[in-house]
Structure 1
Amino acid sequence: MSNHKGFTGKVPHWKTVYYESFANKLEAFARERQVKSWKSRKKIMELVNR
């Protein structure tokens, strides 16, 4: 059992497989929206695997 609540409470801890650094939150939020808009597992996996 993990220490997460809600939907993620039933799965093991998350593991970081990819990250990017940004100068400020505005840039980070813009990038997050971009990646989430892809809605394509293949495209996201390409990003993670490079």
Structure 2
Amino acid sequence: MVLPFLTGATAAWLGVAGKRRACLWAWFITFVIFIAWCQYHMTDSLPISL
């Protein structure tokens, strides 16, 4: 889970630095990573024995 936080922090830093296009791309990449990891983790079954 470090990767989305790292790319999000990079996007925020780029935004503060005034690099708008790079910032938007970094946010888009963060969003894609988040969606991919949510899809991966939300579709697994939980092996819980009650």
TM-score range (shorter-chain normalised) is 0.3 to 0.5
* TM norm structure 2: 0.36
Task: Name which structure has the greater RCO, CA cutoff 8 Å, separation 6+.
Answer: 2
* TM norm structure 1: 0.36
Greater per-residue helix proportion: 2
